[in-house]
């Protein structure tokens, strides 16, 4: 006897009251698209989604489900009978295949009309297991905990649970314009947004010939990894060369990075509005480099009143690297490349830039028309399930 279905628990979703139905429907659609498997059949109820595997192996499917935001836990279950004699046999058949020498039973009655109460159900089933196996009961640290959940039409029997990534179903929390550089941090920041249920479109500032096509290939590989979490991703490439050259022409080297980032924020804001994103997101982490001190961030942020989300603000580099390795972007990110931030790197960038100085440099030329040109010149690449389609 085998666990033949998977029970999806929503976690945080259960607190969402009225919106709950919308959340469940969104998650349900996301799961169907991600699994893309016609053999699997689905059933939604108020607290769960049940996947009937119809013979598909659970391991691979559980692994895939663990990447879908909005799923709190996944339990392999058997849809047992409400008839006590049959239920006892089914519980026995299942527990016999599970490793361990001690057990306990936990019962929940989703259907309160069931004639036996939870305690009585536990006793009946436990007695049958004790009579027919070598197992003994341990209520404190059992090897196996058998869960019984009495539903309207069956009893869910389970004894293992796998953690999902939590958060909200993708698409429920709007969309951000993700600044994607090709370094280690921004893909991890993108992943943080995705697992929160926020969709992304990616924006990359390219400065050819100073930056090469290799960066774009790198971004394609990174997006292929992120495609696991969001099936369709757009990458917008901003032609940044002219503006960048002018920054170096008109600004003191020590202010070049600050001004460049102010320009990125201006362009990002316009692009975010154009593509209906509700915020900008970046991979910045406080104190990591000169442009990421709080003083710098304040001066850079001054050009926009658009929300800028920095999911890695308080993460340290080792944590970020761990996540990058886990989601498979680390090896791609460390491939050598020239980012527009790295080639024009000044020797002594300001860690505490002043606004007054920024205003002074920005008066030296008509940057606004160049900002507009950057937005007008955006080229968009579309990826579906990680593959470039346009
Ligand atoms: P990473 O590049 O992995 O994000 P980093 O430590 O190299 O990390 P910076 O180069 O200082 O960080 O950039 C900080 C953030 O600014 C990046 O995380 C990214 O969101 C954004 N950014 C930097 N360069 C670019 C670029 N060329 N295109 C788009 N966004 C960029
Ligand atoms: Mg970078």
Position 292 scores a pLDDT of: 87
- CA 341 – ligand 2 centroid, Å: 7
Q: Is the C-beta atom of 282 inside 6 A of ligand 1?
A: yes
- CA 339 – ligand 1 centroid, Å: 8
Q: Whose CA is nearest to atom 23 of ligand 1?
A: 181
pLDDT tens-place string over residues 262-305: 999 999 999 999 999 999 999 999 988 777 899 999 999 999 99
- CA 183 – ligand 1 centroid, Å: 6
Which is the closest atom of ligand 1 to the Cα of 188? 3
Helix (H, G, I), strand (E, B) or coil at 6: strand
Query: How far is residue 362's CA from residue 158's CA, in Å, rounded to a whole number?
Result: 64
Query: How far is residue 171's CA from residue 192's CA, in Å, rounded to a whole number?
Result: 14
What does each C-alpha distance from 82 to 31, 59, 91, 121, 242 come to in angstroms? 29, 27, 12, 11, 72
Can you list the residues of the chain whose pLDDT is less than 50?
A: none
pLDDT tens-place string over residues 118-130: 999 999 999 999 9
Q: Is the C-beta atom of 179 inside 6 A of ligand 1?
A: yes
Say which ligand is closest to the CA of 180: 1
Pocket test for ligand 1, best of 214, 341, 349 (most atoms within 8 A of CB): 341
Which is the closest atom of ligand 1 to the Cα of 340? 27
Query: How far is residue 278's CA from residue 37's CA, in Å, rounded to a whole number?
Result: 33
- pTM (2 decimals)? 0.86
Q: Whose CA is nearest to atom 18 of ligand 1?
A: 283
Which is the closest atom of ligand 1 to the Cα of 261? 16
What does each C-alpha distance from 44 to 40, 110, 218, 327 come to in angstroms? 13, 15, 40, 29
User: In the numeric block, which tokens belong to residue 227?
Assistant: 């495609």
Please check whether residue 38 is in contact with residue 130, taking contact to mean a CB–CB distance below 8 angstroms. no
Say which ligand is closest to the CA of 324: 1
Phi and psi dihedrals of 368, rounded to 5? -65, -40
Q: Is the C-beta atom of 315 inside 6 A of ligand 1?
A: no
What does each C-alpha distance from 183 to 27, 220, 324 come to in angstroms? 31, 13, 10
Closest CA to 315 of 189, 162, 221: 189
ω before 209 within 30° of 0 (cis)? Answer: yes
The residues near 273 (Cβ < 8 Å, ≥ 6 apart) are 306
- CA 181 – ligand 2 centroid, Å: 5
- CA 234 – ligand 2 centroid, Å: 20
Please check whether residue 3 is in contact with residue 76, taking contact to mean a CB–CB distance below 8 angstroms. yes
Which is the closest atom of ligand 1 to the Cα of 183? 3
Query: How far is residue 385's CA from residue 224's CA, in Å, rounded to a whole number?
Result: 7
Q: Whose CA is nearest to atom 13 of ligand 1?
A: 284
Pocket test for ligand 1, best of 189, 283, 342 (most atoms within 8 A of CB): 283
Position 343 scores a pLDDT of: 61
Phi and psi dihedrals of 195, rounded to 5? -75, -10
Q: Whose CA is nearest to atom 6 of ligand 1?
A: 185
Q: Whose CA is nearest to atom 26 of ligand 1?
A: 181
């Amino acid at each position: 006897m085998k666990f033949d279905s998977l029970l999806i628990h929503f976690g945080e979703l259960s607190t969402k009251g009225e919106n709950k139905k919308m959340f469940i429907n969104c998650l349900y659609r996301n799961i169907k698209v991600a699994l893309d498997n016609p053999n699997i059949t689905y059933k939604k109820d108020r607290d769960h989604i049940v996947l009937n595997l119809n013979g598909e192996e659970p391991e691979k499917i559980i692994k895939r489900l663990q990447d879908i935001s909005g799923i709190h836990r996944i339990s392999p279950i058997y849809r047992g009978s409400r008839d006590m004699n049959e239920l006892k046999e089914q519980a026995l058949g299942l527990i016999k295949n599970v490793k361990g020498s001690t057990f306990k039973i936990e019962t929940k009655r989703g259907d309160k009309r069931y004639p036996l109460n939870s305690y009585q159900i536990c006793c009946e089933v436990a007695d049958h297991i004790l009579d027919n196996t070598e197992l003994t009961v341990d209520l404190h640290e059992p090897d196996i905990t058998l869960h019984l959940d009495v539903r309207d039409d069956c009893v869910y029997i389970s004894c293992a649970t796998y953690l999902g990534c939590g958060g909200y179903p993708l698409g429920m929390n709007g969309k951000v314009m993700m600044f994607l550089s090709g370094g280690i941090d921004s893909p991890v920041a993108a992943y943080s947004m995705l697992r929160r249920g926020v969709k992304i479109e990616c924006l990359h500032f390219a400065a050819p010939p100073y930056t090469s096509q290799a960066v774009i290939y790198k971004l394609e590989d990174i997006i292929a990894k992120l495609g696991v979490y969001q099936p369709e991703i757009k990458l917008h490439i901003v032609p940044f060369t002219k503006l960048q050259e002018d920054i170096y022409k008109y600004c003191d080297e020590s202010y070049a990075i600050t001004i460049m980032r102010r320009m990125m924020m201006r362009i990002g804001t316009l692009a975010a509005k154009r593509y209906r994103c509700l915020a900008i997101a970046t991979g910045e982490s406080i104190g990591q480099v000169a442009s990421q001190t709080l003083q710098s961030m304040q001066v850079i942020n001054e050009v926009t009143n658009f929300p800028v989300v920095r999911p890695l603000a308080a993460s340290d580099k080792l944590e970020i690297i761990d996540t990058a390795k886990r989601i498979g972007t680390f090896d791609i990110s460390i491939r050598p490349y020239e980012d527009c931030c790295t080639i024009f790197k000044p020797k002594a960038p300001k860690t505490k830039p002043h606004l007054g100085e920024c205003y002074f440099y920005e008066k030296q030329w008509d940057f606004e028309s160049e900002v507009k040109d950057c937005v007008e010149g955006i080229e968009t690449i579309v990826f579906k399930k990680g593959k470039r389609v346009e």
